Structure 1
Amino acid sequence: MRSTYLKQLNSLEKELIVMGSLCEAIITKCVASIGVKDFDLAEVRTLEDEINQKERELENLCIRILLLQQPVAGDLKYISASLKMVTDLERIGDNAADIAETAMYINKRDDEGLHLIEKMGDGVIFMVRSALDAFVRRDKALAKEMIEYDNIIDDFFLKIKKKVISSIDKEEVDGESITDLMMCAKYLERIGDHAVNVAKWAIYAG
């Protein structure tokens, strides 16, 4: 029985890493789609489906461990936090897919706006990866760093917002394109918020 329990815990950790890697992949793909008119959404949809499937698998695994193994103390907190965390990872996948649906309509001539979005995307990927690492390694210090790092993501969002307002004021704007740019920034900000949640679960589980 103990051997089965340890295997299930090991499997849970490995599958969380897989789900996190899928989230990194979909964010990377979606940020790369910005301004690409003929971008093919098929790969993004496949990644989103894989993330949704992984969420279901991990939820089932967590529930099986909780019901059949009746873990206590630290393991109970870790498994309970994992069950909550997969919801945040699934929503990261949803927000990334929303970016891809929107991003291809952005005017690629807006070099400054695109540069800010790309930098924001890099920061969000770093946050997701590091928050998950903190959770798996039960590293509270790293988790706290990622909670603070969200301020950098928020700062990028504010810069993009100012860029949008400035463009509108100067009437230098393709209205649809600038709105889509703002929406992509908002989706990235939400991904950052979900990464913060993952970091908070790491602190709880640690």
Structure 2
Amino acid sequence: MDKNLISRHISGQFNVELENIRTHALAMGGLVEQQLGDAMRALEKKDMSRAQKVSQRDHKVNAMEVAIDEACTRIIAKRQPTASDLRLVMSIVKVITDLERIGDVANSIALMVQRTDYSKPRIDVALTPLAELAVKMLHQVLDAFARMDVMAAIRLYHFDKEINQAYKVIEDSLVSCMMQHSERVPQALEMMWAARAIERVGDRCQNICEYIIYFVKGKDIRHCGSQNLEKLLDL
């Protein structure tokens, strides 16, 4: 990230505290990315061992969110940050919330893999294309967050449309399956839930794009719609 985006202070300790919470948020993002990728591979490969490891690591994601949130609270109480410093702290608080929820998606999918009986016939609907898009978007949005890259954030904000389209294809296929094979409705509904959970990862990544723009530009673009984004930011 451009160091000029973080204000420099007479108090060197304040500078260290701001850099530490940013570094820890990026570390949490790396762990969540690993969790999501492993959960998707476990789903694709029917890998029980990998799924179990995802579930076992979920507590680390939760612990990191709590620790970073507490550090942000201490900074607000002790340093009373203003302007860009406050935007940075608030952006990190919001980012780690979305990261924790993506971690919950990874754990839920891992648990679904563990309870699935793969000896029985399964519905032939692939979630892999959707999963690959979600993992790709998460990786790129974390990179944009590391650099506080507004242009990358805007591009990724629009990328969510691809995830929505991939989800719609799966949704239509599963609805068709349920209409033709009523005995497979429970299985189809479970897959529908998994697809929806993966689609929501894209929405979480979109949120992180909004926080990047908020920190750098000082503008809250929530609820503005993607069509007006460039105009709102004078780009």
CA–CA distance in structure 1, aligned partners of residues 133 and 63 of structure 2: 26
Residues 94-133 of structure 1 show CA distances to partners (whole Å, capped at 9, x for unaligned) of 111111222452867545x22xx11211111121222222
Residue 33 of structure 1 deviates from its aligned partner by 2.0
Query: 2:18 is aligned with what amino acid?
Result: L
Equivalent position to 1:24, from 8, 24, 33: 33
Native 8 Å contact 1:17 1:132 kept in 2: yes
Q: Could you tell me how far apart the structure 2 residues matched to 1:175 and 1:35 are?
A: 21
Mapping for residues 48-197 of structure 1, pairs under 5 Å = 48-104=58-114, 105=116, 110-111=123-124, 113-114=125-126, 117-171=127-181, 174-197=184-207
Taking structure 1 as the reference length, the TM-score comes to 0.89
1:28 Cα deviation (Å)?
A: 1.0
* Alpha-carbon distance between aligned partners in 2 of 1:38 and 1:200, rounded to the nearest angstrom: 35
Change beyond 3 A, Cα 1:152–1:101 = same
Shift of 1:92: 0.7
State yes or no: 1:46 paired with 2:56: yes
- Say if 2:36 and 2:106, in contact at 8 Å, map to a contact too: yes
What secondary structure, in the 3-state scheme, does the structure 2 residue paired with 1:149 have? helix
Task: Tell me the CA shift for residue 65 of structure 1.
Answer: 1.5
CA-atom RMSD, angstroms?
A: 2.2
> Which of 53-62 and 172-181 deviates more?
172-181
Q: Which has the larger radius of gyration?
A: 2
State which of 10, 15, 24 in structure 2 corresponds to 1:15. Answer: 24
Gaps of 5+ in 2: 1-9, 217-235
* Contact persistence 1:131–1:202 (CA under 8 A): no
Percent of residue pairs bearing the same amino acid type: 26
CA pair 31-172 structure 1, distance change in 2 beyond 3 A:
farther
The residue identity in structure 2 corresponding to 1:17 is: L
Shift of residue 134, structure 1, vs aligned partner: 2.0
Paired amino acid for 2:206? V
Asked if the contact 2:84–2:215 (Cα under 8 Å) also holds between the matched residues in 1, the reply is yes
Aligned residues: 203
Q: Larger relative CO (CA 8 A, sep 6+): 1 or 2? A: 1
1:145-178 deviation digits (Å, cap 9, x = unpaired): 1111111111111000111122223339733332
Q: 3-state SS of the aligned residue for 1:71?
A: coil
Q: Using a 3 Å threshold, how does the CA distance of structure 1 residues 131 and 35 change in structure 2: closer, same or farther?
A: closer
CA apart distance, 1:205? 0.9
User: 22-31 or 122-131, which moves further after superposition?
Assistant: 122-131
Tell me the CA shift for residue 86 of structure 1.
Answer: 0.9
Q: Distance in 1 between matches of 2:30 and 2:90?
A: 21
Q: Per-residue deviation at 1:37? A: 5.6
Deviation, 1:141, is 1.1
Distance in structure 2 (CA, Å) of the matches to 1:131 and 1:37: 28
